[in-house]
Amino acid sequence: MNATEGTAADAERKARDEVRGKLLGAWRLVSYTATSTDGDVIEPLGPNPNGLILYTPQGYMSAQLGRGDRPLLSSARLEDAMPEELARTTVGYLAYGGPFEVVDAATVEHHVTTSLFPNWTGHPQTRKVRFDGPLLTLAVPTPTRLWGAQRTAELVWERPA
């Protein structure tokens, strides 16, 4: 490796480390929008979503996202709820976690080891990362099928108060 290659590799490592440092901690979901290739914008979790994403110094992440208007179950205990109620609650909720890796200064991979949606387990979820002042934006890198159309998804997060 020559000096120029070493300098470029050092700069890239420094950029990844900077992004990793900024990610660490807790973030509260502000908004989640998905835009179709023809410009139609939807809010998959409604206008007031709830969510929390955590990034730990040990290299793990965990995300919990849900509609802000999910109805309460008729039972005070989860195991006593009716199957139809349980099914309805999962439509407006997503949870997953596992190790994370900052791939480059604009990309993070979530290596999913557990998920409410079992098809994600064992498959990385790649997200584009952007910081804008106190906000963190995570977005899918390319359009994907979401809610009946090819869409890009963008989730905006802020540090909890």
Strand partners, 42: 34
Q: What is the CATH number of the domain that holds 96?
A: 2.40.128.280
| pLDDT of 1 strictly over 70 | no
With beta carbons less than 8 A apart as the criterion, state whether 68 and 90 touch: no
Token pair, residue 81, equals 């709820």
pLDDT in tens, 96-130: 999 999 999 999 999 999 999 999 999 999 999 99
Separation between Cα atoms, residue 27 and residue 36, nearest integer Å: 26
**For residue 138, what are the domain limits?**
3-158
| pLDDT of 55 strictly over 70 | yes
Tell me what the pLDDT averaged over the chain comes to.
93
Amino acid found at 69: D
The number of folded domains in the chain is 1
Percent of the chain with pLDDT over 90: 78
pLDDT in tens, 133-148: 999 999 999 999 988 8
